[in-house]
C-alpha cells in the first residue's frame, strides 16, 4: 500500500484531546473526507415505530459521543480495524418523523446507495423498525441472509394497533418478504414476559430458533456460541443487536427494558466469537439517551459497534 492508499484513521488522540472536536464515530473521518471507504458506520435517528418510551431518535449522536474513547487496536480480536480498512462515519440517514412509511422508504434507499459505495455497513439506530428497510437493502445486494438477532424481544409480532410496521414487528415482515434465510436464523438473549405462549409458537413457525438469556446463564458463552455457530453456518450473516438484550443495569437507556439480561461482557464475548463468520451488515438499535445515565448504555453500544467493525475489517477487502 502506498501512503496515499493507506486508510485514514481516527483523529490522533495524542495530538488532539479526545473530548475536543466534532464526534464522528470513534473520531473517524467522514465519508466525504476520503476518496473511498470499505466500512461505514451510519446513524438512523428515527423512533416513530416505538410501542413504549420514545427517544431512540437521539441514539446515533449519543453513541458517537461515547465512542470518542475507543482506541485503534482491538486486542480481543488482535486487529487494528481502522488501519486494515478505510472505516468512515457516513453521517445520519434522514427519515421523516411524521410519516413512517416514507421514513422506511428513505432508509431503504439511503442504505442501498451507501451499500453501493462501501463493502459493509454498521447502522446505529433508531428504534428496531429500521431493521426492516435495512434488510431490504441488504437483500438487494446479497439475497436472503442469515439473521442473528440479539434482543430481549422476539420482534416477530404481527401488528400493534393494526400497524404492521413497528419496532416489534420487523423480523415478521422481513420473513414474509423472503429477506431472511430462515433455515439459518436465530434470536439471542430473548427473555421476559410475552403476550402469550403463542408468540413463541408463531416465531418458531416462521422458522427462527432461540438461544435465551437463561441458556447463556446456565451453560455459558462457549455453549451459546456453539449453538449459534451451528445454526448460522457459513451463510452471509446480518447481525441485528437491540441494546435491550443487555440487562438494564448494563443498558438502562432504552425504551422497553426487561430485567435479567446479558452483561455487556457476555455480549462482547459472543460477538468476538463470531468474528470469523461472513458478516455482511449489522445494526445496533434502541439506545434512548433520555433514560441513560453516565453514558452507560452508549458506552456499551459503542463497544458493540467497535467489535462488529473489528470483525468486519478482518473480512472486508
Ligand atoms: N424492539 C423492541 N425494543 N421492543 C419491542 C417491544 C414491543 C412491545 O412493546 O411488545
Ligand atoms: Zn428489544
Ligand atoms: Zn428489538
pLDDT at 57: 98
Ligand 1 nearest-atom number relative to CA 52: 9
Given a cut of 90, whether residue 278 has pLDDT beyond it is yes
Q: Is residue 182 part of a domain?
A: yes
Whole-model pTM? 0.98
Report yes or no on 246 lying in a domain: yes
State if residue 149 touches ligand 1 by the CB under 6 angstroms criterion: no
Q: How far is Cα 46 from Cα 195, in angstroms, rounded to an integer?
A: 26
Q: Is residue 46 one of the residues assigned to a domain?
A: yes
Angle in degrees, 0-180, between the axes of helices 264-272 and 221-232, rounded to the nearest 10: 40
Q: Is 155 in the pocket of ligand 1 (CB under 6 A)?
A: yes
State ipTM.
Answer: 0.98
**Residue whose CA lies nearest to ligand 1 atom number 6:** 168
Q: Look up residue 307 and give its DSSP letter.
A: H
* Ligand 1, pocket-test mutation among 49, 256, 285, most atoms within 8 A of CB: 256
By C-alpha distance, which of 92, 128, 85 is closest to 110?
Answer: 92
The whole-chain average pLDDT of the chain stands at 97
51, burial (CB in 10 Å: exposed 0-12, middle 13-18, buried 19+): middle
* 10 within some domain: no
> For residue 255, how far is the Cα from the chain centroid?
16
CB under 5 Å of ion ligand 3: residues: 128, 151, 153, 155, 242
Q: Which domain holds residue 64?
A: 25-313
Edge to edge, the sheet with strand 279-285 lists 87-92, 39-44, 120-125, 279-285, 237-242, 146-150, 186-190, 209-212
> What's the structural domain count of the chain?
1
CATH number at residue 77: 3.40.800.10
Listing DSSP states for 133-176 in one string gives HHHHHHHHHHSSBEEEEE-SS------BTTBSSSTT-HHHHHHH
132 against 315, higher pLDDT: 132
Note whether residue 19 is domain-resident. no
CA distance 135 to 156: 14
Q: Which three cell numbers stand for residue 145?
A: 441472509
Q: Rounded to whole angstroms, how far apart are CA atoms 313 and 86?
A: 9
List, in order, residues 6 or more apart from 306 with CB less than 8 Å away.
26, 67, 70, 74, 81
Please say if the pLDDT value at position 317 is more than 60. Answer: no
Ligand 1 in contact with 153 (CB < 6 A)?
A: yes
Which of 48, 157, 164, 195 has the most ligand 1 atoms within 8 A of CB, as the residue to mutate? 157
Is the distance from the beta carbon of residue 47 to the nearest atom of ligand 1 less than 6 Å?
A: no
In a domain, 11, yes or no: no
C-alpha distances in angstroms, 26 versus 79, 166, 244, 299? 15, 30, 22, 11
CA–centroid distance, residue 127 to ligand 3 (Å): 7
Confidence band for 316, pLDDT divided at 50, 70 and 90: low
Residue from 239, 247, 292 nearest 270 by CA: 239
Residue in the structure block whose three cell numbers are 463468520: 277
Longest dimension (CA), the chain: 60
Inside any domain, residue 303: yes
pLDDT surpassing 70 at residue 3: no
36-71 confidence digits (pLDDT tens): 999 999 999 999 999 999 999 999 999 999 999 999
Closest CA to 45 of 31, 62, 32, 28: 62
Q: Whose CA is nearest to atom 5 of ligand 1?
A: 168
Whether 111 is in a domain gets the answer yes
Q: Name the band, by pLDDT with cuts 50, 70 and 90, for residue 5.
A: confident
Q: Is residue 38 within 8 Å of 87, Cβ to Cβ?
A: yes
Amino acid at each position: 500500500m502506498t501512503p496515499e492508499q493507506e486508510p485514514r484513521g481516527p483523529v490522533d488522540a495524542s495530538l488532539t484531546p479526545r473530548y475536543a472536536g466534532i464526534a464522528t464515530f470513534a473520531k473517524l473521518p467522514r465519508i466525504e473526507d476520503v476518496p473511498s471507504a470499505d466500512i461505514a458506520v451510519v446513524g438512523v435517528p428515527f423512533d416513530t415505530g416505538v410501542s413504549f418510551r420514545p427517544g431512540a431518535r437521539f441514539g446515533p449522536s449519543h453513541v458517537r459521543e461515547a465512542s470518542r474513547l475507543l482506541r485503534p487496536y482491538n486486542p480481543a480480536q488482535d486487529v487494528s480495524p481502522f488501519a486494515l480498512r478505510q472505516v468512515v462515519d457516513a453521517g445520519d440517514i434522514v427519515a421523516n418523523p411524521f410519516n413512517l412509511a416514507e421514513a422506511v422508504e428513505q432508509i431503504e434507499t439511503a442504505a442501498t446507495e451507501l451499500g453501493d459505495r462501501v463493502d459493509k455497513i454498521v447502522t446505529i439506530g433508531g428504534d428496531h423498525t429500521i431493521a426492516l428497510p435495512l434488510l431490504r437493502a441488504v437483500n438487494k445486494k446479497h439475497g436472503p441472509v442469515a439473521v442473528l438477532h440479539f434482543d430481549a424481544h422476539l420482534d416477530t409480532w404481527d401488528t400493534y394497533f393494526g400497524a404492521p410496521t413497528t419496532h416489534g414487528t420487523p423480523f415478521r415482515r422481513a420473513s414474509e418478504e423472503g429477506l431472511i434465510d430462515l433455515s439459518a436464523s436465530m434470536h439471542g438473549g430473548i427473555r421476559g414476559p410475552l403476550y402469550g405462549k403463542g408468540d413463541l409458537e408463531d416465531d418458531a413457525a416462521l422458522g427462527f430458533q432461540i438461544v435465551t438469556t437463561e441458556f447463556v446463564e446456565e451453560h455459558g458463552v462457549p455453549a451459546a456460541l456453539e449453538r449459534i455457530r451451528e445454526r448460522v453456518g457459513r451463510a452471509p450473516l446480518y447481525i441485528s443487536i437491540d441494546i435491550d438484550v443487555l440487562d438494564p443495569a448494563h443498558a438502562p437507556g432504552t425504551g422497553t427494558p426487561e430485567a435479567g439480561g446479558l452483561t455487556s461482557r457476555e455480549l462482547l464475548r459472543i460477538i468476538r466469537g463470531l468474528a470469523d463468520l461472513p458478516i455482511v451488515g449489522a445494526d445496533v438499535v434502541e439506545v434512548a439517551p433520555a433514560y441513560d445515565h453516565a453514558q452507560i448504555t452508549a458506552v456499551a453500544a459503542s463497544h458493540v459497534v467497535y467489535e462488529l467493525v473489528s470483525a468486519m475489517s478482518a473480512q472486508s477487502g
